[in-house]
Chain A
Amino acid sequence: MKADAFSLPADSGCGAPPEREVLRERGQREVFCGLTGIVWLHRKMQDAFFLVVGSRTCAHLLQSAAGVMIFAEPRFATAIIEERDLAGMADCHEELDRVVDRLLARRPEIRQLFLVGSCPSEVIKLDLGKAAERLGAKHAGQVRILNYSGSGIETTFTEGEDACLASLVPVMPASAPDAAPQLLLVGSLPDIVEDQFLRLFAQLGIENVGVLPARTADGLPAIGPNTRILLAQPFLGETAQALEGRGGQRIDAPFPFGAEGTTAWLKAAVQAFGIDEMHASAVIAPGRERAKRALEHHREKLAGKRISFLPDSQLEVPLARFLATELGMEPVEVGTPYLNRKLVARDLDQLPETTRISEGQDVDRQLDRVRADRPDLTVCGLGLANPLEAEGLSTKWAIELVFSPIHGFEQAGDLAELFARPLRRRDVLQV
């Protein structure tokens, strides 16, 4: 087990300011696995079905994470590996074919099927890539069959979306070498937020905008050397790399949280497309002002309050940036399951020097630090929230930040409210 010491990373960027110290820990992790991404991805991709090949534990996890959603004919399920499947591999593939055939017969409206790997399927080395190929050929013309891994041994929570989107990159159509510049917005966003951004891009004069993931199978955007990639989520390292591998160029930007974050994100796109700054400012101003007014309501409650993040989604660094620079909060520790320095550089730079950045987790040691720090608010998972409340520490459960619309100008106030509400509730309760 690594000592409780700050360690300098070996690879520091050339010419950049010295990289800040990061506390790296290994030990018990209190996080979701990548399978959880299915719960929001299947809402976004309307004709996709997610078939997990895993154990009863995987099915139980999805059921626990999906809550009541599980009863509304969800487009996900688990092919539960049983004892007889473990006896021989050939049998396993036949079984999978049988399950997929039955599934597609029952749900003829499905156009994309993701075979999602789990810890058990990875450990027994069930080749889902090959299975996807075989089944894809069999059901060609009707349904596209892809595969990715959402296993806990490889992915943490939102990394499941990264793995899913990366699996879509090879099947994206290639744009012509001489095609007009195209903007590719990457990362699943609630439809309402996506629509707001698309409207803003149109007003800014960026007409050719693709979205990954697309809402339907045939809406998959093109990719090529003329594509500029704008990430809406910080956890998309693998997807970004795959897109760059097909010629796309990433626009470096902070993430669109709050009035300033969203402004900087849009302006980065504006610069990449050579749009007139005056025009851009005029388009952006109304939303930016609205967002600032909405944030003002919460500033009084949140300014000066100390906040710690436990690792969960990789949204921690951008959100801490938002809370620090736009609401005057003081981030004490910002934990992230994985720190992709390149992608969150613009947010990381704006965090106060005093903030402790940690990557990975040894949950018991981290909780010791939370108890010693006694922040006003701790952002953590549902397995830890009530126990910390019982110790007198106010918490904000992290998973809500992934399911709620929080990006962009119009959601800035709602995002602040998510953090203000637990504090308000703590003050109002007299029992």
Chain B
Amino acid sequence: MQLSVWTYEGPPHVGAMRVATAMRGVHYLLHAPQGDTYADLLFTMIERRNARPPVTYTTFQARDLGKDTADLFQRAARDAYARFDPQVMLVGSSCTAELIQDDPAGMAEAMRLPCPVVPLELPSYSRKENWGAGETFYQIVRHLADRDVRPTARDGRKPLVNILGPAALGFRHRDDVREVRGILNRLGIDVNCVAPLGASPADIARIGAADFNIVLYPEIGDSAARWLEREFKQPRTKTVPLGVGATREFIAEVAALAGVDPEPARADGESRMPWWSRSVDSTYLTGKRVFVFGDATHAVAAARVAHEELGFKVVGLGCYNREFAREVRDAARAYGVEPLITDDHLEVEDAIAAAAPELVLGTQMERHIAKRQGVPCAVISAPVHVQDFPARHSPQMGFEGANVLFDTWAHPLVMGLEEHLLTMFREDFEFSDDAGASHLAAHSPSRHAEPVSASSAPTAPTFQEEDWTPGQVRGDDEDTLWTAEAEAELKKIPFFVRGKAKRNTETYASEQGRAAIDLETLYDAKAHYAR
């Protein structure tokens, strides 16, 4: 048993729901107890869909167990078919139905429903949501792809591709697809089908007509794409166009596979991000310590953008989906950090505290961890809450995606000029700790700024016990003795770098074997760690 308050991923049948909901003409019959319909509201509330997910739950109850759950299943299947008239039915079990050992696949087959039925085996006690989505999409493609459909001869026609991976409840999938379509359009490449998002069973049947596959989200699209590569000889792309550099490589990779000139897409769609990043106001971003966590695809891509395109220093990198841990391990090695592969949010919290980053890039969970630790944060990966399914166009991929990444990641940081002013006027009443930090109102405790007249302003800062935030400034190392003077000086350092300064000073003091930390030690340490 695993003790868990928060889970990064739902159970695998939720992944199957994400695929079913993304598609048209598909209905999912889920053998499940009363209550599992809670998952509907992920789609109707978080993604704000205007229709119920195409899922029928058998809703068995305690009194049904041991007698007619199989009967219940078959009635539900008949009713769902009659009402929704699907072109394809998916059938499977949720975690509880898996235990009662009805066989949805066998029962559905015995019924001879008048539409194709795709049975799903989703082991709920060993696998999770992303795996469930990938497996479901793979099974759909395997069952529905028409093996006689192959690309026509190339003479005169444009290259034709499939875009694989986007699904319901995907982080920015809607807008990423639009960006990638734009790139393909400029390259003179036609799209055969986007799947599962918006695809019908007929679209899947004709999936073999494309010359190759573009895999946008390996977590969901890779199994199907690998199978298509084997069975249909369709090559697949390996680059995910997240960030300027990756988008350029993606364009080159796609153009090479299609045999077209990459220039139209490169020249036409150049991002503003490289210039924004070069402009002098961005100089302060240099070496900012960033901790990256999310699904493997987004985490690896974000680390690259952070390192190569914004000049950050990656001090932590990890993912919650074990299936793609290898990619994260490779990337972590490149940045010289220890990869963090875990679905335990407490471990992530500890790792963030230990790395003492100045920016966290993560999921909704890291947003809350960062809030508690008083560190700025931006969201780069699912799971996300409702605000990260925005009304505005907000891709992560392609050149517009790179613009969005720059704005989203730089925004929570203090702007360069502001940081300069904070340092310069750190004892000014409007910039002192007690004034709070209005630009980070969400992250800092609210305190009232009271005007202090010149005469009443204390000449030397006085240290108030209650002004100290436990754990942030004092308390983690009881052996370290700070002189009152040094403590007061430490307090003058802006709060968002103070934790690091304190830690560095204490480390330095212990390395140097100094019994107490005075002003001298503080500034010696500062010089020691100067970058």
A79 in the interface (beta carbon within 8 A): yes
Partner of B125, one of A60, A83, A102, A103: A83
Partner of B35, one of A32, A70, A387: A32
CA gap between A387 and B45 in the complex, in Å: 10
Contacts of A74 in B (CB 8 A): 5
A56 in the interface (beta carbon within 8 A): yes
B61 in the interface (beta carbon within 8 A): yes
Contacts of A109 in B (CB 8 A): none
B396 in the interface (beta carbon within 8 A): no
What's the least CB distance linking A53 to chain B, in Å? 8
CA gap between A100 and B266 in the complex, in Å: 58
Known: A64-B41, A153-B60, A154-B61. A59 touches B7 (CB 8 A): yes
Question: Residues of A within 8 Å of B, CB-based: how many?
Answer: 62
What's the least CB distance linking B15 to chain A, in Å? 11
Which of B75-83, B112-120, B471-479 lies at the binding interface?
Answer: B75-83
CA gap between A92 and B99 in the complex, in Å: 15
Which of B50-58, B152-160, B241-249, B292-300 lies at the binding interface?
Answer: B50-58
Chain A residues 352 to 373 lying within 8 A of chain B, measured CB to CB, are 364
Contacts of A70 in B (CB 8 A): 5-6
Partner of A76, one of B5, B44, B52: B5
CB pair A119 B96 closer than 8 Å: yes
What's the least CB distance linking A365 to chain B, in Å? 9
Contacts of B57 in A (CB 8 A): 28-29
CB pair B65 A123 closer than 8 Å: yes
Contacts of B368 in A (CB 8 A): 68, 71
What's the least CB distance linking B139 to chain A, in Å? 20
B95 in the interface (beta carbon within 8 A): yes
Contacts of B2 in A (CB 8 A): 79-80, 82
CA gap between A63 and B64 in the complex, in Å: 28
CB pair B3 A77 closer than 8 Å: yes
Contacts of A36 in B (CB 8 A): 38
Chain A residues 364 to 396 lying within 8 A of chain B, measured CB to CB, are 364, 381-387, 389-390
Partner of A83, one of B11, B51, B126: B126
B123 in the interface (beta carbon within 8 A): yes
What's the least CB distance linking B46 to chain A, in Å? 9
CB pair A153 B50 closer than 8 Å: no
A99 in the interface (beta carbon within 8 A): yes
A10 in the interface (beta carbon within 8 A): no
Greatest chain A CB density within 10 A among B60, B99, B385 is at B99
CA gap between A60 and B385 in the complex, in Å: 14
* Proximity bits, B3-30, A CB within 8 Å = 1, else 0: 1111101110110000000000000000
CB pair B126 A82 closer than 8 Å: yes
CB pair B1 A85 closer than 8 Å: yes
* Proximity bits, A20-57, B CB within 8 Å = 1, else 0: 00000001111111111000000000000000010111
Considering the complex of A and B, which 9 residue pairs feature the smallest CB-CB distances, nearest first? A33-B35, A152-B35, A383-B40, A390-B50, A119-B96, A55-B95, A71-B368, A152-B34, A382-B41
Residues of A with Cβ closer than 8 Å to B? Answer: 1, 27-36, 53, 55-57, 59-61, 63-65, 68, 70-71, 74, 76-83, 85-86, 92, 95-96, 98-99, 102-103, 119-120, 122-124, 151-154, 156, 364, 381-387, 389-390
Residues of B with Cβ closer than 8 Å to A? Answer: 1-7, 9-11, 13-14, 33-42, 44-45, 48-52, 56-62, 64-65, 75-76, 79, 83, 94-96, 99-100, 123-126, 128, 365, 368, 372, 385
* A and B contact pairs by CB, cutoff 8 A, 25 listed: A1-B75, A27-B59, A27-B79, A28-B57, A29-B59, A31-B34, A57-B36, A57-B124, A60-B11, A60-B39, A64-B42, A68-B368, A70-B5, A71-B368, A80-B1, A82-B1, A85-B125, A86-B125, A98-B1, A152-B35, A152-B36, A153-B33, A383-B44, A384-B40, A386-B49
